[in-house]
Chain A
Amino acid sequence: MGEKKWSEVRPSEDYRRILRPDGTLQDKAPKVSRKELLRWYQVFVETRTFEEIAVRLQRRGVLSVAAVSRGEEAVGLGAAAALKAGDWCFPSYRQNSTLLYWNAPIDRAMAGLMGNSPEHIREQLPMTADQLPKVTFMPYAVFLGANIPLAVGSAMADKLAGRDSISLAFIGEGSTSEGDFHDGLSFAGVFDSPLVVIIQNNQWCISMPASKQTAAETFAQKAVAHGIPHERIDGNDVFAVYDTVKKAADRARKGHGATVIEAVTYRMLDHNTADSSAVYRTEDEAEYWQTLDPFDRFEKYLLAEKIIDSSTRETLAADAEIWLREAIDRGRAVPPTEPSAMFESHLHGEPGWSERHQRAELAAELAGQNPFVDYTGEDLQ
């Protein structure tokens, strides 16, 4: 093997940065009120608190799996703050900060993480229309690349209808290797769709390093082939994220089309609770990224600006622990989904013959009968 390709070395810090790792400004801070900055800090704290609780619940067997975003929170948070009511967001599983910023219902989320059906959750934890988040969050397809064509269609619909709302999609650097990414961007470029795509480059796609995903110099430059403007930013700098996404969103709202933003960050913990990253990555890598922690630098900045003091973190964490626990307990208190719910929400209208029979078979099986002895199945109902 010859010389290492660029992508086999540490990711370049040649990107847009406003807030340095030491908490000082490298560039002009975006115009954000002190109250709003305090809100960002609160969401940071809430995100870490929520994820710590989720991991504990997984270890106790309450959740089968939990994925956390430690080290990447600034990406979801800065992007969330750049959205407006009426926008649509297509997250993956590492944007808890985005969800918390827009007050997504944690009780419902917990009931969902525990494996309940959406219909059942809505029934058990009712909400009025004005209690729902003002940004619409779409569920992700686990196959994360699938977000992109959907978000493009959503953006196309906004443009066709003359709305000034936009669609924001998150994708990991690994999923930019999927055809879906390029399929969607082909459309977004041609139709000037009001769309922002954030490539949350956390360096690892489960065990696959970014260098195994592309030989291109950056992930952002994949947008070049689609004629879409792109930016590469320090994803651990919430100011850079906010400011860049805000400008992209404003462009989109004005009818100037899509933007792709690569936010360079790092997955500090395992892929999820079923993963063991010690098998495939080294400690010195983690030490390097620890110096770039997005929370620490934002905290230093806020302390210096006297927006928070040395006790704020503890106070906010204690508050978060209380309300998150209450919400999580409400979610956990949802009685298990009835098995027949699996048949719901497939097609509109009266159930067809096969669905009627299969529902009846399941009911008979659950009632301790032999579901197959009656050839018609009809009187099992």
Chain B
Amino acid sequence: MSAAIDKGQTEELNLVTAINQTLRQELARDPQVRVMGYDIGPIGGVFRATDGLYDDFGDQQVIDTPLTENGLIGAAVGMAMRGERPVVEMQFLGFMYNAWGQFIYSLANLHQKTGGLVNVPVTIRTTFGGGIKPLPFHSESTEAYLMHTPGIRVVCPSTPYEAKGLLAAAIRCDDPVIFMEHTKLYRAFREQVPTADYTLPLDKCRLVKPGKELTLIAWGNMVHVSQQAVDELDYDVEIIDLRAIAPIDVEPLLDSVKKTGRCLIVHEARRTAGPGAELSALISEYAMEWLKAPIKRVTAFDVFFPDNQVEDVYLPGPDRVKAGIEAVMNYQF
């Protein structure tokens, strides 16, 4: 787990303005950074993440493209293998299913297929997660599809500070990185973020809060939902922000569970074969003898993301997380 760096001069940013500032700084730092996608130019992105970039960097560096996710990823990989450093905006994770071919054949596989000769330094920024009551396929948490794929990194920031450092690291990384931005966190809160550019490691989880009785693993908005649940209970819970969804930073998770003897996994993704299944399997395989209770998963259900009227019930909230904590803490063998 990484420590926070010296923050120097800071300013108050929310998650989406932190993303915007990072893109701006990376575009200025490296002329081969090409921000590309649809609705990213004059409109500045549907969430305004690319606001103002088109005016300041022009259409050679901020490239509005046709509406084809598969073409978008393929073209970005083609550019990357010729020395460019594309940063793709995939408007919603739920739109990426259309791009599965280029995602697998090109983005994930090209480096391996060329025996490491060709690098694919593409960052795919995408939004995920529920809570803002949009249209169908705008709230997907299908990171399990991503993490099953070798050859890519998947990261997920849970705060503006994390977003800035992780995005800069993703853009500078020579691997393809899927960067998952939670829509509900875009404007949820502000925090002090260093004005200067900085990077955070792409392969490390983050200790949110130390504790001795239970290890709670979450990412994205579920870090905050879990934090609220923990605050409302009187247990000494260790909260870990997974941050690196793939590859997983396994060792600190095992160390934490070996210390607390209990584990709760909280995610917005569906349960069956979801990320929690892999985390739970890893912990049972490698830390079974330290466990004082079965590992519990607090997740969404195995259904399509439901209509807006029932969205709040579908998503894990503080109450469901509290129920999960109680279940694990009070378990008797």
Residues of A within 8 A of B (CB): 88, 117-119, 121-122, 138-139, 141, 143, 145-146, 148-158, 160-161, 167, 178-180, 182-184, 186-187, 190, 344-349, 352-355, 375-376
In the complex, chain B residues whose CB is within 8 Å of the CB of A345: 111-112, 114-116
| Known contacts A180-B102, A183-B70, A184-B74, then 20 further A-B pairs from the complex at CB < 8 Å, ordered by chain A residue | A118-B115, A118-B117, A122-B115, A143-B105, A146-B102, A146-B105, A149-B73, A150-B102, A152-B74, A152-B78, A153-B77, A154-B82, A156-B75, A161-B83, A183-B74, A187-B66, A346-B151, A348-B174, A349-B203, A352-B203
A-B contact pairs, 30 of them (CB 8 A): A88-B82, A118-B114, A141-B106, A149-B73, A150-B77, A151-B78, A152-B75, A152-B78, A153-B76, A153-B79, A153-B80, A153-B82, A154-B79, A157-B84, A160-B34, A160-B79, A160-B84, A179-B68, A180-B71, A183-B68, A183-B70, A184-B75, A186-B68, A190-B65, A345-B111, A345-B116, A346-B111, A347-B151, A348-B119, A352-B247
- Residues of B within 8 Å of A117, CB to CB, are 115
Tell me whether B249 is interfacial, beta carbon within 8 Å. yes
> Is there a chain A Cβ closer than 8 Å to B1's Cβ?
no
Q: Is the CB of A152 within 8 A of B71?
A: yes
Verify B247–A347 contact, CB threshold 8 A: yes
Known A346-B112, A347-B153: A153·B75 in contact at CB below 8 Å: yes
- Within the complex, what minimum Cβ distance (angstroms) separates B169 from chain A? 11
Q: Does B286 sit within 8 A of A, measured CB to CB? A: yes
Interface 1/0s, chain B 84-122, versus A by CB < 8 A? 100000000000001001100110011111111111000
B248 is an interface residue with CB less than 8 A from chain A: yes
Do A141 and B74 contact each other (CB < 8 Å), given the known contacts A157-B79, A348-B173, A354-B247? no
Partner of A150, one of B34, B106, B153: B106
Q: Does B285 contact A (CB under 8 A)?
A: yes
Closest A residue to B61 using CB positions: A160
Residue of A118, A141, A148, A352 near B248 (CB, 8 A) is A352
Docked complex Cα distance between A167 and B88 (Å): 22
Q: A154–B70 contact, CB under 8 A?
A: no
Contact indicator B74/A146 (Cβ below 8 Å):
yes
How far apart sit A235 and B274, CA to CA, in the bound complex (Å)? Answer: 50
B150 within 8 A of A: yes
Bound-complex Cα distance A348 to B169 (A): 13
B60 in contact (CB, < 8 A):
yes
Distance (Å) between the CB of B178 and the closest chain A CB? 13
Contact A149 B78 (CB under 8 A): yes
Binary A-proximity of B239-274 (CB < 8 A = 1, otherwise 0): 000000001111100000000000000000000000
Instruction: List the B side residues contacting A119 at CB < 8 Å.
Output: 115-116
B291 adjacent to chain A (CB < 8 Å) = no
| Chain A CB within 8 A of B293 CB | no
A158 touches B82 (CB 8 A): yes
Question: With A and B bound together, what is the CA distance between A153 and B109 in angstroms?
Answer: 16
CB contact under 8 A between A146 and B106, given known A154-B82, A180-B101, A376-B286: yes
CB pair A156–B79 under 8 Å, yes or no, is yes
Expressed in whole angstroms, the minimum distance between the Cβ of A104 and any Cβ of chain B is 14
For residue B81, CB closer than 8 A to chain A, the reply is yes
Q: Could you tell me the distance between the alpha carbons of A344 and B112 in the complex, rounded to whole angstroms?
A: 7
B250: chain A residues within 8 A (beta carbon): 352-354
- Note all chain A residues with C-beta closer than 8 A to B106: 141, 146, 149-150
Q: Determine the residue in chain A with the shortest Cβ distance to B82.
A: A157
Q: Are the CB atoms of B151 and A150 closer together than 8 Å?
A: no
Q: Which of chain B's residues have a CB closer than 8 A to the CB of A145? A: 101
Chain A residues with CB under 8 A of B311: none
B174 touches A353 (CB 8 A): no
Complex Cα gap A259–B250 (Å): 50
CB < 8 Å neighbour of A154 from B81, B105, B112, B117: B81
In angstroms, Cα B84 to Cα A154, docked, is 10
Give every chain B residue within 8 A of A346 (Cβ-Cβ). Answer: 111-112, 150-151
The distance in angstroms between the C-alpha atoms of A187 and B79, with both chains bound, is: 12
| The one of B60, B78, B247, B251 that contacts A155, using a Cβ cutoff of 8 Å | B78
Q: Which of A118, A183, A355, A375 has its CB near the most chain B CB atoms (within 10 A)?
A: A183
- Contact pattern, B 149-167, Cβ under 8 Å of A = 1, otherwise 0: 0110100000000000000
**Minimum CB distance partner of A178 in chain B:** B101
Q: Of all chain B residues, which has the CB nearest A167? A: B78
In the complex, the answer to whether B286 meets A157 with C-beta atoms within 8 Å is no
Minimal beta-carbon separation of B202 from chain A (angstroms): 9
Residues of B within 8 A of A354 (CB): 247-248, 250
Min CB distance, A320 to chain B, in Å?
28
The yes or no answer to B236 lying at the interface (CB within 8 A) is no
User: Roughly how many angstroms separate A229 CA and B165 CA in the complex, as a whole number?
Assistant: 45
Q: Does B213 touch A at the CB level, under 8 Å?
A: no
**Pair A156/B203 contact, Cβ less than 8 Å:** no
Contacts of A146 in B (CB 8 A): 74, 101-102, 105-106
CB distance from A165 to the nearest CB of B (A): 9
Residues of chain B with a CB closer than 8 A to A141's CB: 105-106, 109, 113
| 9 A-B pairs with the lowest CB-CB distances in the bound complex, closest first | A153-B78, A149-B74, A118-B115, A183-B71, A157-B82, A345-B116, A153-B75, A353-B250, A352-B247
In the complex, the chain B residue whose C-beta lies closest to that of A375 is: B286
Q: Which residue of A lies closest to B108 (CB)?
A: A346
A118-B117, A141-B109, A375-B286 known; A348+B68 contact, CB < 8 A: no
Contact B71 A184 (CB under 8 A): yes
Residue of A nearest to B121 (CB): A348
Indicate whether A352 sits within 8 Å of B115 (C-beta atoms), given known contacts A180-B70, A180-B101.
Answer: no
Give the distance in Å from the alpha carbon of A160 to the alpha carbon of B110 in the complex: 22
Q: CA separation between A256 and B249, bound complex, in Å?
A: 49
Considering the complex, give the chain A residue whose CB is closest to the CB of B113: A139
Known contacts A146-B101, A146-B105; is A353 also within 8 Å of B82 by CB? no
The 8 A CB mask of B277-291 against A (1 = contact, 0 = none) is: 000000001101000
Contact A149 B102 (CB under 8 A): yes
B79, B81, B174, B248 interface centre (most CB from chain A within 10 Å) = B79
Given the known interface contacts A183-B71, A353-B250, the answer about A157 and B83 at a Cβ–Cβ threshold of 8 Å is yes
- Measured between C-beta atoms, what is the minimum distance from B225 to chain A in Å? 27
Contact (Cβ within 8 A) A353 B249: yes
Determine the distance from Cα of A152 to Cα of B98 in the docked complex, in whole angstroms. 18
Residues of A within 8 A of B79 (CB): 153-154, 156-157, 160
Structural contact, A187 and B286, CB atoms closer than 8 A: no
